[in-house]
Structure 1
Amino acid sequence: MLGLEYFTFNDLWSPVFMSFMLLIIAGYFILIGPLADKREDAEPTSVGRKMAFVAGMFILYLAQGGPISLLGHLMFSFHMLSMALSYLIAPPLLMFGIPPWVWRILLRVNPFKKLSFLAHPIVAAVIFNGLFSVYHLPSVHDYVMLHFGVHRLYYAVLFVASGLMWWTLVNPLPEHTEIKGLKKMGFIFINMVLLTPACGLIIFAPTGLYATYNDPNVWAKAMGYCVSGNPSALLTTFGGPKYFAFLDTHVDQQIGGILMKFIQEIIFASMLAYVFYRWYKQENRESEEEGSAGFTTTGDMDTSSAASRTGG
Structure 2
Amino acid sequence: MLGLEYFSFAELFSPLFLAFMLIVTAGYFVIIGPLSDRFEGAEPVSVGKKIMFVSGMFFLYLAQGGPVSLLGHMMFTFHMFSMALSYLVAPPLLMMGMPAWLWRAILKVNPFKKMGFLAKPIVAAVVFNGLFSFYHIPAIHDYVMLHFMIHRLYYLVLFIAAILMWWTLINPLPERHQATGLAKIGFIFINMVLLTPACGLIIFSTQPMYATYSDPKVWAEAMGYCLSGDPSALLKSFGGPTFFNLMSTKVDQQVGGIVMKFIQEFIFASMLAVVFFRWYKSENQDEDDDINSSVDIPEHSLNRA
TM class by shorter chain equals over 0.9
User: How far apart in 1 are the matches of 2:114 and 2:106?
Assistant: 15
TM-score for the superposition, normalised by structure 1: 0.95
Whether 1:228 aligns to 2:255 is no
User: How far apart in 2 are the matches of 1:112 and 1:171?
Assistant: 15
Aligned match of 1:303:
301
Whether 1:85 aligns to 2:85 is yes
Q: Tell me how far 1:303 sits from its aligned partner.
A: 3.2
Aligned match of 1:278:
278
SS of residue in 1 equivalent to 2:172: coil
CA contact (8 A) 2:77 2:256 kept: yes
SS of residue in 2 equivalent to 1:207: coil
Unaligned runs of 5+ in 1: none
Q: Tell me how far 1:300 sits from its aligned partner.
A: 3.0
User: How far apart in 1 are the matches of 2:140 and 2:216?
Assistant: 18
Whether 1:46 aligns to 2:38 is no
SS of residue in 2 equivalent to 1:282: helix
Letter in 2 for 1:26: A
User: How far apart in 2 are the matches of 1:108 and 1:64?
Assistant: 29
User: How far apart in 1 are the matches of 2:195 and 2:159?
Assistant: 16
Letter in 2 for 1:275: V
- Corresponding pairs, count: 305
Whether 1:253 aligns to 2:253 is yes
Letter in 2 for 1:152: R
Q: Tell me how far 1:106 sits from its aligned partner.
A: 1.5
Aligned match of 2:158:
158
CA contact (8 A) 2:40 2:101 kept: no
User: How far apart in 2 are the matches of 1:39 and 1:198?
Assistant: 43
Aligned match of 1:131:
131
SS of residue in 1 equivalent to 2:114: helix
CA RMSD of aligned residues (A): 1.6
CA contact (8 A) 1:81 1:260 kept: yes
Letter in 1 for 2:117: F
1:98-135 deviation line (CA, Å, top 9, x unaligned): 00111111122343322310110110000000000000
Aligned match of 1:218:
218
User: How far apart in 1 are the matches of 2:177 and 2:93?
Assistant: 18
SS of residue in 2 equivalent to 1:234: helix
Q: Tell me how far 1:159 sits from its aligned partner.
A: 0.3
Aligned match of 2:72:
72
User: How far apart in 2 are the matches of 1:41 and 1:301?
Assistant: 42
Aligned match of 1:203:
203
Whether 1:101 aligns to 2:101 is yes
Aligned match of 2:55:
55
User: How far apart in 2 are the matches of 1:115 and 1:90?
Assistant: 21
SS of residue in 2 equivalent to 1:174: coil
Unaligned runs of 5+ in 2: none
User: How far apart in 2 are the matches of 1:109 and 1:75?
Assistant: 40
User: How far apart in 2 are the matches of 1:98 and 1:166?
Assistant: 14
User: How far apart in 2 are the matches of 1:117 and 1:32?
Assistant: 28
CA contact (8 A) 1:168 1:177 kept: no
Q: Tell me how far 1:65 sits from its aligned partner.
A: 0.3
Whether 1:179 aligns to 2:179 is yes
Q: Tell me how far 1:153 sits from its aligned partner.
A: 0.7
